Structure formats: C-alpha cells, structure tokens
Chain A
C-alpha cells in the first residue's frame, strides 16, 4: 500500500494533473481555433460584442441569475465557489506546490477551509438530490450527471477526515489514499466529461452567436455537394 500511495502522490498525481491541464488547454485552443475559422468564413462579420461580453460575464459570475430558480441557483453557485476555493487555497496544498515547484500564494485559514469543505459536500449532495427528485432533470440525466457530484464529494470528505484525525474512523493511510485516488480520477475525468466547462464556458456565448454567422454561400455549397443544384424546392 505504501508503494501504491507513493505512486499516486508522485507520478500518478503528475500524470492526472497534466492530463487535466493539457486536456483543458487543448479544448480551449481548439475552441479558439474553430472560433477564428468560423469568423473568418462568416459572411457577416459584425458581432454584438458588448452583448456577448455581458452574457459571458453574467454566466461566469452568475450573481444576477439567482432570481430564477433561487434554491437551485444558490446551491449551484455556493457549490462552485467551495469546490474552487478549497483545493486551490488550502494551506496544505499551497505548501505542496511550494515544495514541488517553488510557487506559493496566499491561502485561507484551516477553519474557513473546514467550513467550505463541509459546504462543498452538503451542496454537492443537495445538487444530486435535486437531480434525482426533479422530474425534468431525471429525464435528462446521464450516468456522469449522477456520478460526478458523488465523486466530487469523495476528495472533500476524505480531505476533511485527514484534517480531523480525532473523528476519522479509518486508518490515516487509507484515507489519504482515497483522497489521492479520487482526486486524480477527477483530474483525468475533467477533460473527458461535462467538467470541461471549466475551459469552455467563457467562450460559449460567442460560440452560440457565431453559430448563426454562416459563410456567404454555405447554402449553395451544400446544394452542390448533395447534387441538388437547380433541384426544385
């Protein structure tokens, strides 16, 4: 177990984290490349830039969206805040980064991290509960939609137990292993699942607008390639 632990915290973590970072970067760059290509082919190059910017910002920071479906929206926003803040600003994590690559940044106190960790777990489970109980989401949900919120709670729960050995019923090493494996698994899943919205969300409003900006002769080219030139309506 020790050697396995050594693997997942060393090369395992490196691989998983790099997979996530490079995967997201690849998706982001592909999106940018496709945006540029679509724009360069578009017949109408005038875009409502300020409207796109406003709606993009409104969804990246969705404070104004709280008024529709307030319970769901609030749960979702709080969940997102917690799952972003804790792993990035936990003092223990920052220390590891400093040891590894010599980079450090200000963190949050362990008490705040504790609270936010519990918040992440509770809101994650609440989102899952909402998904299961609401008819519309139940009809839409795929396996990943149920599995991801559950999976996300695992590194948080195990992390919390690591920080509080007094209430941890499991051996420390096992808890640590679960924490590392689940986190690494999540990193790998990010670019492969809907979690890739981490990289794509900022561009999605522009993408939706550009979907309506077709090349000048798209219709006739499609007709030509289908052999329907001059065909009757």
Chain B
C-alpha cells in the first residue's frame, strides 16, 4: 500500500498514518508565517485577488482540461481561504461570532494534495495577473505546508532522503562509480577524438566547482562531455567535488527546509575545495535553486554561474574554438526551461550559441519569458506514475509547439525538461524528434584540436565527416557500458 489509490501519486506509507492533520497543518502554517516571508504576499493577495480569470487563459493545463479546479486563481484560493479563516482577524472573528467560515478538514487537505501537484509552478500565469499575484509562489508554499504533514510525492521524498541522509546525491551514485564514469568519459574522448580531455576531481582552489543534475552522469554523457570540452578548451579552472556533486534540489519543489539544507551542502563543498564559484550544469531547477545561495548562505557566498552563461561568454570573446565549416544542419529549436527563463534571467545565451552553431535554427512561439512549460516542471517529471497526465493534458501544448516547428532537434538545457520532452515526444507520435542539450551540440562543433592542421590541410576529409557523426551515439554507448537504463532518474 503506497497510497496510489488515495492520491494521483504515490506517497510513503507513513503519510497515510499521520493523525490530526488539520491541526498539524495549521501549526506548520503558523511557524512558516512567523519565520519566513510568506505573510507579506498572502496578506496582500487576500485583498487584491480580483478573480478576473486572465490566468486561466495563460495556463496550459486549464486550456487542455477546461476544469475549473485547474484555473491558477482557483487553486491558489484553496490556500488563501485557509489563511483568511485562521490567520486574519476578520476570519477568526467571523468564525467565533457568527460561527461562519469553513473548517479545515482531512478531505480538504487531500484535495489540496492533488491540486497543488497538478500545477508545475511554471509561473506563466504570473505574467498575466493584473494584480501581480504569483500563483507559483502559492503552489510552492502550499506544497511545503503539505510536506509538513507528509503529503509529498514519494519520488521526491526518496530522492531528497538519498541526497541528505544516504549516499549524498539524488541518483544514489557512490563516489567510486562517479570516478569510474569520469574516467570512462575521458577514455571516450581518447577513443573517439584522440584528445586528452580531463574531468578534474577534487582539485583544490579551482575557480569553478561543477554541479550538474547528478542524473547527467547516468543519462547525459554527451552533455557532460560537452561541458568538459568547453572548460578544457577555454582554459577554465574547474573541478568536480567528491563530497557533493549533485546540483539537484527537490527542496525547491516541496520544502524550503530541505532546500536550505541542500543549498548549504553545495556551498560547504565549494568551501571545502576552496573554490570560488558554483558552476551549474544544464539544469533549470538546479540553477534556480543555486540562485538562492545568497538567501541561505549570505551575500558573501560563492557566485553562481550557469554553464550556458560561461559557454556563451567564452564563445563571444572568441575563446571557444569551433571547427571550421562544421555546423548542425538539421532544423533545431529551443525550449526555454521555466526556472531560468520565466524571470528573463537566461534566455539569450543559449539562443546565441545555437544560432552560431546551427544553420537552421527556428523559434517556438511563444518563447523566452512567455514560454510554455514542458509539462514536467515543479518536480512532476520525477513522478513516473503520472506520466499519462504529464504527456497528456499537461504537455499537450508543448507537443503542439514542437510539432509546429518541424524541428529534428529540440534543445533544452535542463535534465528535467529533457526527460519530460522525450516522454512527451514518445507519447505524442513525435518519433523523429531528438531531445538534446546545448552542450551535446557544442561537443559536435567545437574544435577539440585547435592546434592541429585544419580540415583543408588534411588528407582524408571523409574521416572528419565520420568523426562528426560519432558523438551522437556516445551517450548510448556510455549507458550500455555502465549498464544503466534510461528509466532511472
């Protein structure tokens, strides 16, 4: 019994045994209001909310289901109602004097548990709310409060447990396996490209300490090889720390308490290695979580750089050598991960890179800050049991967008988006589409031997052509060698 019947996702068995949940929920709510920053928005939102439904038109889920419970404002009202009743003077007074107002019940909490995991917290609706209400913030808070009464998808909780109390990362990769993987990838560079590219491990004093989504070590060999190639070619001083090599932070999806602990561990590892900056790999939520480092660790904490920002900066200043005359010729499009694009923080760097290395780059519309979520945001992608929902109503809009571009490559610099987009394409008949990372494509076009004789000087250009085709299969080969299935996350 894992509780699948009760909720749309599995919860841990212990979650079904929690007693006195409404009281515990309100206790947690009171503590959060006292110690965090949520009372400001809640206090303003309960007065502002105009119920105009503009958010309904912005939500890809409501667009697909037309179910009123999927309107962002309707969902947020579930939490605002509790706040109004139990945490405002008017609400408590009305309840006492008139015996009016609603009472928080177990059923109400169960409904909330389902409702707030139908939202991916993509925050697209925030852009259309005339009152400036951030429904993503409400989802974020509601999930935390639910987690305090153990209502949290098992998939997320198990991953965080592995990271904070188990092996030390969400994919439960032991250090020897990490080292093996890195050595294997170095060998791949030798075998395929005959170059010596390093994955530096535990180098003290490096400028950048690298935190990809740890699942990349299992699933995205090409992305990591692209990262390593860019760092090596640009002379970047970087390292992977064996104390902590996981940028994933599911705390962002269900608990500020967990988020704080995970972020602190990232900073501790940078300090242990006497590094200067956090270099985040291709992962949207890992990047956004890392942007919270100043929140949890003070403004003196290490600076956060996303690998796309690094790569474009190097490319723009001419430090990243590209193979002459080699470009990605298949049609390529870019999916903005909500966590880095919604607030407009990283939208142009990946586009500039792609435009520089692709001959047929096309945009999806809408894009950048107004993009549609892949359908797997807010941690929902890790909940395998809701795949039909994710690739159905939740992802339908994205599937249509991809189809309209006619692209062969859908590029997204995010481990979660990539997993979701692959499943989305699989379930929506987009069989010819390949979902791939920015660095996977970069790996194909960077000149790994900038000092070697150029293409035209070589005797057999065909050989060069062959080389270009190889990297696409590296990921598969690496996975086979490591005996890892794609299903793992």
Contacts and interface: CB of A to CB of B under 8 A. Distances in A.
Nearest to B370: A68
Contact of B47 (A42, A200, A208, A215): A200
A161 to B, nearest CB: 29
B69 to A, nearest CB: 8
Nearest to A220: B260
B368 interface: no
B53 A136 contact: yes
Interface stretch (A11-19, A27-35, A100-108, A111-119): A27-35
Contacts of A31: 40, 43-44
A222 B53 contact: no
Interface residues of A, number: 62
Residue of B48, B52, B160, B343 with most chain A CB atoms under a 10 A cut-off: B52
A15 B439 CA distance: 67
Contacts of A6: none
Contacts of A134: 53
Interface stretch (B123-131, B182-190, B413-421, B428-436): B123-131
B48 A196 contact: yes
A207 B296 contact: no
B294 A59 contact: no
B103 interface: no
B28 interface: yes
Given A43-B294, A200-B47, A219 B260 contact: yes
B466 interface: no
B487 interface: no
Nearest to B36: A218
B296 to A, nearest CB: 6
Contact of A139 (B44, B57, B74, B257): B74
Interface in A213-233: 213-223, 225-226, 228, 232-233
Size bracket of the B interface:
35 or more
A37 B40 CA distance: 9
Interface in A42-64: 42-46, 48, 51, 55-56, 59, 62
Interface stretch (B132-140, B208-216, B240-248, B378-386): B132-140
A141 interface: yes
Interface in B278-303: 292, 294-299
B62 A136 contact: yes
A182 interface: no
A69 interface: yes
Contact of A207 (B41, B53, B54, B160): B41
Contacts of B73: 140
A222 B30 CA distance: 9
Given A137-B52, A220-B257, A232-B165, A207 B130 contact: no
Contacts of A62: 130
B56 A136 contact: yes
Contacts of B71: 136, 139-140
A201 B131 contact: yes
B32 interface: yes
B51 A211 contact: no
Given A43-B295, A140-B53, A207 B256 contact: no
A194 interface: yes
B37 A218 contact: yes
Contacts of B456: none
Given A45-B299, A135-B68, A140 B51 contact: yes
28 contacts: A34-B44, A44-B292, A51-B343, A65-B128, A68-B128, A69-B54, A136-B71, A139-B68, A140-B53, A140-B77, A142-B51, A201-B131, A204-B44, A205-B132, A207-B40, A208-B132, A218-B32, A218-B37, A219-B255, A219-B257, A219-B258, A222-B257, A225-B31, A226-B27, A226-B28, A226-B148, A232-B165, A233-B160
Interface of A: 27, 30-31, 34-35, 37-38, 41-46, 48, 51, 55-56, 59, 62, 65, 68-69, 72, 76, 134-137, 139-142, 145, 194, 196-197, 200-201, 203-205, 207-208, 210-223, 225-226, 228, 232-233
Given A51-B343, A217-B260, 6 more contacts: A136-B68, A136-B71, A139-B71, A201-B130, A215-B35, A222-B256
Closest 10 CB pairs of A and B: A139-B68, A204-B132, A219-B260, A211-B41, A44-B294, A136-B56, A219-B257, A221-B35, A43-B295, A218-B36
